[in-house]
Amino acid sequence: MKRVPFPRYISNSRLFYIFEADEVIVAITVMFTSGGILGLIIGVPLFLTVLITAFLVYFTVKFYIKYTKKVAPGFLKHKLYDLGFLKPSQEDFIPYGFEREFKD
């Protein structure tokens, strides 16, 4: 019988070319936010806006990658639960705090 290799990156998020999708989303969000604030609201010249935005995107994504390697997968969704933006559904079966026994 031939052995089938187990996928090494089964728990990673989807890729966008060689980058993970969440890293691309963080980069795009920082790019548009910082570019909009610097260029449109403050009125910084275009060359400086592009330069500052590039540095902010690079260091923010670098920090995000280091942070995601330290924490458990799904930390962003759990943070949304903690902050109250997402509500657990009955399909998730999260028991209430006052339940003393569980029945199947």
Spatial CA neighbour of 27 closest among 53, 47, 57, 4 = 57
Q: What is the pLDDT of residue 1?
A: 72
3 state SS of 43: coil
Per-residue pLDDT of the chain (104 residues; tens, 9 = 90+): 777 776 666 666 677 788 888 899 999 999 999 999 998 888 889 999 999 999 999 999 999 999 888 887 777 788 888 888 887 776 556 555 665 666 65
Q: What is the pLDDT of residue 61?
A: 94
What are the residue ranges spanned by the domains of the chain? 15-92
Q: Which residues on neighbouring strands pair with residue 19, listed in sequence order?
A: 16
DSSP H stretches of helix in 3-45: 21-35
pTM confidence score: 0.63
What whole-number distance in Å separates Cα of residue 68 and Cα of residue 77? 13
Q: What is the pLDDT of residue 62?
A: 95
Q: Which two tokens stand for residue 6?
A: 């187990």
3 state SS of 11: coil
Spatial CA neighbour of 26 closest among 66, 70, 81, 84 = 66
Instruction: Tell me if 70 sits within 8 A of 64, measured CB to CB.
Output: no
Q: What is the pLDDT of residue 59?
A: 97
